[in-house]
Structure 1
Amino acid sequence: MIFISVVYIILRGCEHEYTQKNPVNPPDREEIWRLYGTRDWTIVALAQKFRVSRPTIYKVIERARKQEFSPRKSTNKRFLQAKYGMKRLAKVESSLEIKKKSAARRYNKSYPGEMVHFDTKRLPLLRGEVKTLPRDYLFVGIDDFSRELYAAILPDKTQNSAATFLKQVIEECPYTIECAYSDNGTEYKGTPDHAFVALCKTNRIAQKFTRVRHPQTNGKAERVIKTILEMWHEQTIFTSRKDRELSLVRFVNFYNTVKPHTGISNMTPYEKLTNFFFNL
């Protein structure tokens, strides 16, 4: 609210300037006109009585002849702009507060496998590759409870590739996956004969999806993809696509066993899972 306070002070200053330019309210204008009509009051005397300049008295009398006793609409653009800016800033401040509260609503599921977040990202071309070459796609799965990461590079973003990745996760995962959470991409969502949907049903994995056009609600998967690109892909020079696939395996191992995560009390996913299973 600091921004609003600063602008409020500026606005009050502009409003003061506006008041100085329009110091006579409607009742005072009527009184000036009445006194002036008695011919007992000079312009100088009226200016002294109402503490305004003589030009202001002349303007009041001129407008009073037209029965115009209310101040005209302000032409002070600084005041009008500040007033608009105040409203605009209030909206911005309100939206920031909402985002701050939303960001603060962190949560973790109660046990491993309760929910695994899935997402897909098209990978950049390698250095020296021509632009016409088909892109590879990064598939990720991250356990909501432990932040344990699963990842694979596949040649396309289809339901078959998504099913291939899910099969890999199921085989590698030491606990039962109860729910797969993803966006509404066609690789994850479809009819009962859809490859990913069918594999979920076969393994009794429920599916949940983000709100339509709100992929950011799948925040854990979005965040881990950003981390992978920043910490691994952008920092590594790959000799080939096969080299990139092998490098990803090493990074996933680092992510799960070495890198601490603030969302799980600065533990690694491995430590989080170890603590859970040894305390059952």
Structure 2
Amino acid sequence: MCHLRTSRKLGPARIGPILGMPASTVHRVLTRHGLGRLAFLDRPTGQVIRRFERNRPGELVHVDVKKLGRIPDGGGHKVLGPQAGRATRSSMGFDYVHSAVDDHTRLAYSEVHGDEKAATCAAFLDRAATFFQNVGIDRIERVLTDNAWPYRKNFAWRDALARLGATGKLTRAYRPPTNGKVERFHRALADEWAYTRPYTSNDERTAALPDFLHTYNHHRSHTALNGQPPITRVNNAPGQYT
């Protein structure tokens, strides 16, 4: 049963008939073995993704970049319809949303930029550290990123880490779940900010980002934090309940 789950990624409704068992029984057994949801598996290898959480704020910060298509003035396909939207967005290019998420608290900080070059990534890390300091996380100890070129053997990124007194760490190759907390934040960012409503311009969408971040950090309940917002995990955070 577990082999079918990990090797073929089958669910209880398909495993049950193969083994001659009710799907409800298959579900209980898979859950008992930590295989109740496919999201718990690394799809290419079938290995269980081991969830972890650092013990204190600032011990580890996850950093990543999400690419979004820019919105033309007047709106894209959500405002103008599919045909008109495709015509206006064809040469708009992309925004690059740089994000940093603290592992212990899930506090998040994001900025929108026109590229993901090394200098941009390094300057973003400086400002992210200032954000975390302002909410009560005085020091970043380690920064986890993927293996993109700006984070590997790059002097600008190394200098930014040195200014913070932090150590850089790269995810394992082809294992994006290693940086899963910022990946999960980017899904929330897409659902609740980038695509939540039909913006009429790229500037309008960018201007809405600070409000989303404040809501996410101070008011939005987080399932991994027993329904509490991330700011509640920071000791003596200023403006905690604003």
Q: One fold, TM greater than 0.5? A: yes
RMSD over aligned Cα, in angstroms?
2.8
What pairs up with 1:226-237 in 2 under 5 angstroms?
Answer: 226-237=187-198
Aligned CA distance change for structure 1 residues 145 and 8 (closer, same or farther; 3 Å): closer
- Tell me the distance in 1 between the aligned counterparts of 2:40 and 2:224: 21
1:115 aligns with 2:53: no
Distance 1:8 1:123, change over 3 A: closer
Give the deviation of 1:122 after TM superposition.
0.7
Residues in 1 aligned to 2:63 and 2:39: alpha-carbon distance in whole angstroms: 29
1:199 to 2:163 alignment:
no
Q: Does 1:161 align with 2:120?
A: yes
Task: State the match for 2:142 in structure 1.
Answer: 179
Q: How many positions carry a matched residue from both structures?
A: 191
* 1:108/1:275 CA distance change after superposition, 3 Å: farther
Match of 2:228 in 1: 267
1:190 corresponds in structure 2 to: 153
Return 5+ residue gaps in structure 1 as ranges: 11-92
Q: Distance in 2 between matches of 1:97 and 1:220?
A: 13
- State how far apart, in whole Å, the 2-side matches of 1:117 and 1:273 are: 17
Cα distance between partner residues in 1 of 2:184 and 2:39: 21
C-alpha contact (below 8 Å) 1:180/1:207 kept by paired residues = yes
Q: Which has the higher contact order (CA 8 A, sep 6+)?
A: 2
Give the structure with the larger helix fraction. Answer: 1
Decide whether the 8 Å contact of 2:59 with 2:140 is kept in 1. Answer: yes
Within 2, Cα distance between the matches of 1:148 and 1:139? 14
CA distance 1:134–1:159, change in 2 (3 Å): same
Taking structure 1 as reference, are residues 7 and 267 closer, same or farther at Cα in structure 2, changes over 3 Å only? Answer: same
1:22-61 alignment to 2 at 5 Å?
none
Larger radius of gyration: 1
- Deviation, structure 1 residue 97: 11
Does structure 1 retain, via aligned residues, the 8 Å contact 2:123–2:160?
Answer: no
2:148 is aligned with what amino acid? G
CA pair 161-276 structure 1, distance change in 2 beyond 3 A = closer
Contact 2:70-2:202 at 8 Å conserved across structures: no
Conserved? CA contact 1:142–1:221, under 8 Å: yes
The residue correspondences of 1:121-136 to structure 2 (distance < 5 A) are: 121-126=66-71, 127=76, 129-136=88-95
**Separation (CA, whole Å) in 1 of partners of 2:224 and 2:126:** 27
**What displacement does 1:5 show?**
5.9
Q: Deviations over 1:181-202 (max 9, x none)?
A: 01001122224x2x12221122
Contact 1:125 1:131 in 2 (8 A): no
Q: Is the 8 A contact 1:115 1:177 kept in 2?
A: yes
Cα deviation, residue 216, structure 1: 2.4
- The TM-score with structure 2 as length reference comes to 0.70
Of 2, 6, 18, which residue of structure 2 is paired with 1:7?
18
Q: Percent identity?
A: 27
> Helix, strand or coil: the match of 1:249?
helix
Q: Deviations over 1:244-278 (max 9, x none)?
A: 2220011000000011111122111111114799x
Normalised by the length of structure 1, the TM-score is 0.61
CA shift, 1:9, in A, is: 5.0
